[in-house]
Amino acid sequence: MKEVLKRGFTSFAISSFAGLIVNLIIDMIMNASFSTGFISMSPDYVALFPSATIAAYVNILLYGVIGATFAMSAYIYEVEKIGFIIQSIIYFIITSSVCVGITILLWQLHKYPAAFIFTLAGYFATHVIMMVIEYRRLKADIKVINELSEDEL
């Protein structure tokens, strides 16, 4: 459990920092070239807070929560008693619950049905691609292990 929490804290810090840097770069580029006063947050999201500064801090913390969720949820793949498909389904449910929930808040997707549907579809497609790649890797690893076992016989 200590390792899972350590992994979660590290990912929280990295994701928060990366989110801060990405938002800073986007804001700088947009303000330098297109429009002054641009902030890389939905106006509807910013309106939920007393100031844009507090909205930005919460935004950065939410990036950290997403990172920590992905890192800590990956622990499910280390549980050997659960099959790969079940592990992947559990991982998908945990990460999608947190990440889609945060995305809805940050981008105010409930106000934009088409964007909401495309975001869900993209998230689902990404997980399917990741599962297929990982399944192929596992299959290749098992083949190598079986070949080594046969050589020993």
CA neighbours closer than 13 Å in the CB half-sphere of residue 71: 20
pTM: 0.81
DSSP code, position 37:
T
- 68 near 15, Cβ under 8 Å? yes
On the question of pLDDT at 153 being above 70, the answer is no
- Span 111-120, mean pLDDT? 89
Q: Is 112 helix (H, G, I), strand (E, B) or coil?
A: coil
The more confident residue out of 153 and 150 is 150
CA distances from 10 to 41, 92, 148 (A): 25, 21, 37
Q: What percent of the chain has pLDDT over 90?
A: 50
| pLDDT 10s digits, 5-33 | 999 999 999 999 999 999 899 888 888 88
